[in-house]
């Protein structure tokens, strides 16, 4: 009888122990180590809320990935994950364990769709690119928060009437771009709640230090302020007039200096030998001709007297002669 009592007691204690540790086991995070696209598909399909997917090699997944109703962390582990058929999050969150340790790049070549779409969720990836026919936007957010740690590009084919953008934010969403947004000809730069914004239509003062702000008051897109230097040199032309020559001032933000001829209709540059009057300005982004002039005025370069006597040699000769005569009579 005593043995039976002890056996029952041990059984009850074991049951109590199982009940006690069950929640801990249920809440434990599973780390899915994936080596290829097939293992990645299984991991995403079987993962539970809070799990981590760890890359054990570089992977390119050419199938659509949708994540719904849970949070997943990607440990890139110094590797690169390319999702080439788009990524969609609905009521979900995708986090990067260390954004600086690897890459998660999203791309899509499709019609009337988004490369990265987040609805009522959060996401962070390395870069996003889109191409194809009349893509809606490379990045789309609705009631969501998105962080792109690199660049956004939309090379989609544009036809009249199509609404194509690099980034589209709607329904109280915030999008942060740590790199740049590049769009093909005819493709809009940013759309915030149905209002198109060009690269120069940012709001001042900014609502995030170090970023350009594009907003309609409810939706906001922040683009990293990448310092862009352009130089100005005053040159003397054939008639001894000084002209301003600008280099690295184009809107394409190319690294090579531009020839004076690029600015002939705006700043009247010349190809004569540069003088000593030089100035380098730094702005948040590459500037157009009109913006460059505004910056130059702000630093006072257009406030100087740009016309000098056309016969400096004759004036020098006059003063030399005057000095010689004065010294002769004084002596």
- For the chain, how many residues are written? 331
Q: Quote the distance between the C-alpha of residue 121 and its chain's center.
A: 20
pTM: predicted TM-score of the whole model, two decimal places: 0.67
CA 189 to chain centre: 11
Q: How confident is the model at residue 325 (pLDDT cuts 50, 70, 90)?
A: low
Inter-residue contact 145 to 116 (CB < 8 Å): no
Nearest to residue 137, comparing CAs of 113, 173, 158? 113
Dihedral angle of Cα 210, 211, 212, 217, to the nearest 10 degrees: -120
Residues 107 and 129 sit within 8 Å (Cβ to Cβ): yes
Cis peptide before 6 (omega within 30 of 0): no
What is residue 287's three-state secondary structure? coil
Residue 20 is predicted with a pLDDT of 37
Does 148 or 246 have the greater pLDDT score?
Answer: 148
Q: In this structure, what token pair is assigned to residue 67? A: 């994540």
Instruction: Give the tokens for residue 312.
Output: 């400096």
Give percent of the chain above pLDDT 90: 44
Residue 199: the pLDDT is 84
Name the least confident of 94-103, 126-135, 167-176, 188-197.
126-135
Q: Which of 24-38, 101-115, 136-150, 197-211 has the lowest mean pLDDT?
A: 24-38
> Do 103 and 96 contact (CB within 8 A), yes or no?
no
Classified as helix, coil or strand, 25 is helix
- For the residues 35-63, what does the mean pLDDT come to? 96
- Whether residue 120 contacts residue 91, with contact meaning beta carbons closer than 8 Å, is answered with yes
User: Which residues lie below 8 Å from residue 101, measured CB to CB, with a gap of 6+?
Assistant: 76, 77, 78
205 has a pLDDT exceeding 80 = yes
């Amino acid at each position: 009888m005593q043995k039976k009592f002890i056996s029952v007691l041990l059984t009850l204690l074991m049951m109590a122990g199982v009940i006690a540790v069950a929640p801990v086991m249920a809440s434990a995070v599973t780390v899915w180590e994936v080596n290829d696209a097939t293992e990645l598909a299984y991991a995403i399909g079987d993962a539970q809320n809070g799990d981590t997917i760890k890359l054990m090699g570089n992977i390119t997944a050419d199938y659509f990935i949708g994540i719904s109703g849970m949070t997943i962390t990607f440990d890139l582990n110094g590797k690169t994950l390319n999702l080439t058929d788009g990524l969609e999050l609905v009521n979900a969150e995708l986090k990067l364990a260390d954004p600086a340790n690897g890459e998660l790049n999203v791309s899509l070549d499709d019609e009337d769709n988004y490369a990265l779409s987040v609805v009522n969720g959060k996401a962070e990836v390395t870069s996003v690119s889109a191409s194809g026919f009349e893509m809606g936007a490379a990045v789309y957010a609705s009631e969501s928060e998105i962080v792109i740690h690199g660049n956004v590009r939309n090379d989609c084919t544009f036809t009249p009437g199509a609404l194509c953008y690099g980034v589209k934010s709607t329904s109280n969403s915030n999008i942060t771009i740590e790199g740049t947004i590049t769009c093909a000809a005819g493709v809009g730069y940013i759309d915030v709640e149905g209002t198109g914004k060009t690269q120069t239509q940012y709001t001042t003062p900014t609502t995030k230090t170090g970023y350009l702000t594009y907003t309609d008051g409810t939706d906001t897109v922040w683009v990293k302020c990448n310092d862009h230097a352009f130089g100005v040199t005053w040159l003397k032309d054939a008639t001894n007039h000084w002209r301003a020559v600008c280099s690295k001032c184009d809107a394409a933000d190319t690294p090579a200096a531009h020839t004076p001829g690029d600015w002939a209709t705006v700043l009247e540059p010349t190809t004569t030998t540069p003088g000593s009057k030089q100035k380098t300005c730094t702005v948040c982004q590459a500037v157009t001709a009109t913006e460059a002039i505004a910056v130059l005025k702000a630093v006072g370069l257009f406030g100087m007297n740009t016309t000098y006597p056309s016969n400096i040699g004759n004036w020098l000769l006059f003063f030399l002669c005057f000095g010689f005569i004065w010294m002769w009579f004084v002596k």
